[in-house]
């Protein structure tokens, strides 16, 4: 009986709700850091892929920001459901593509699920804590209302590969923003599998876009893109930080430095589950209205 050949997997980019090959047709190997064995190939995103992701993110933002906070919370809860159903697969992939043990990888997956649940429950409550009715002169109402910033580019930390992604993405999209994510360069597989979970969680196309490749090729283009409204620098490696800040200044793009000193900080609820993470990517709109007689 002939030996069956395995079907080799080629991980693609996640842009506009679809899995697409890079337009340059380039790829990179994903390597097991323990055995140095090749796991699979991943797409090496190009400048054009980054531009396509921003276009998709802008379309996704328009649809996503129009949904009610309650509906966004329900979709986030669906995301947690789908991740829960594949927790063993994610634990295996994290263990395979990082130096973590299987037990530590499983702990990371469970923490990621719990974090999504936290933000799902907060979706229709956070705006009440930030918005307010302002004291003004008689005859007028004055409201301060939080609104999403728009398209946010995210440079993820190298580790933890899954929990770092979830901890950065959830507070960004909760308020109605869309995002373009540059995945971990050393351990991209959990981010790519997360794209498969997001694709089946009722998110409108373009809300979450995930690029893999070399940071030195992708970071300058997203930081300088005129249709990106904010840049979340979550990587503890600061070698791109000054260049990103300079590029953000070209269109007064908001720059948020959210990196932690050590990966263990992502396991802290106090540091990651709070309203300040959401505030980083919102704008406050003030509305005046006359009182009726």
pLDDT of residue 38: 86
> pTM score, two decimals?
0.92
Kindly give the pairing relationship between strand 140-148 and strand 282-290: antiparallel
pLDDT attached to residue 30: 86
Top-level class of domain 11-23+42-290: alpha beta
pLDDT at 7: 74
**Confidence class for position 5, pLDDT limits 50, 70, 90:** confident
pLDDT(105) > 60 = yes
Angle at 252 (CA atoms; ends 239, 280), nearest 5 degrees: 75
CB distance 123 to 73 below 8 Å: yes
- Can you give the pLDDT at residue 183? 95
Residue 64 corresponds to which tokens in the numbers above? 């996503």
Percentage with pLDDT > 70 across the chain: 99
Residue 133 and residue 286: Cα distance in Å, rounded? 10
CA–CA dist 271, 179 (Å, integer):
21
For the segment 175-207, what is each residue's pLDDT rounded down to a tens digit? 999 999 999 999 999 999 999 999 999 999 999
Q: What is the C-alpha separation between 61 and 63, in angstroms, rounded?
A: 5
pLDDT beyond 80 at 102: yes
Looking at per-residue pLDDT, the higher value among 141 and 186 belongs to 186
pLDDT at 50 over 90: yes
Position 292 scores a pLDDT of 64
Instruction: Give per-residue burial for 72-82: e unless 16+ CB within 10 Å, then b.
Output: bbbbbbbbbbb
Cα–Cα distance, 75 to 120 (Å, whole number): 8
> For 272-293, what is each residue's pLDDT tens digit?
999 999 999 999 888 888 876 5
Segment among 1-5, 25-29, 103-107, 284-288 with least mean pLDDT: 1-5
Percent of the chain at pLDDT > 90 equals 75
- Would the pLDDT of 14 be above 70? yes
- The mean pLDDT value for 159-174 works out to 96
Residue-averaged pLDDT of the chain: 92
């Amino acid at each position: 009986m002939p030996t069956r050949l395995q079907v080799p997997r080629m991980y693609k980019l996640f842009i506009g709700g679809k899995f697409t090959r890079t337009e340059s047709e380039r790829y990179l190997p994903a390597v097991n850091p323990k055995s140095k064995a090749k796991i699979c190939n991943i797409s090496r995103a190009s400048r054009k892929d980054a531009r396509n992701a921003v276009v998709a993110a802008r379309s996704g933002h328009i649809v996503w920001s129009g949904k009610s906070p309650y509906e966004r919370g329900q979709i986030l809860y669906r995301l947690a459901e789908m991740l829960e159903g594949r927790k063993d697969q994610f634990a295996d992939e994290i263990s395979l593509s990082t130096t973590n043990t299987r037990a530590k990888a499983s702990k990371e997956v469970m923490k990621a699920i719990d974090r999504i649940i936290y933000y799902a429950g907060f979706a229709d409550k956070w705006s009440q804590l930030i918005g307010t009715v302002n004291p003004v002169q008689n005859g007028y109402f004055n409201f301060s209302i939080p609104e999403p910033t728009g398209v946010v580019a995210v440079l993820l930390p190298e580790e933890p590969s899954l929990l770092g992604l979830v901890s950065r993405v959830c507070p960004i999209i909760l308020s109605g923003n869309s995002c373009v994510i540059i995945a971990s360069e050393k351990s991209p597989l959990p981010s790519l599998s997360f794209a498969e979970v997001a694709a089946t969680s009722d998110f409108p196309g373009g809300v979450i876009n995930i690029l893999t490749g070399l940071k030195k090729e992708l970071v300058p283009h997203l930081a300088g893109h005129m249709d990106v409204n904010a840049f979340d620098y979550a990587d503890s490696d600061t070698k791109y930080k000054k260049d990103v800040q300079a590029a953000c200044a070209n269109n007064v793009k908001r720059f948020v430095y959210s990196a932690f000193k050590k990966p263990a900080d992502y396991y802290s609820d106090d540091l990651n589950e709070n309203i300040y993470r959401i505030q980083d990517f919102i704008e406050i709109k003030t509305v005046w209205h006359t009182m009726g007689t």
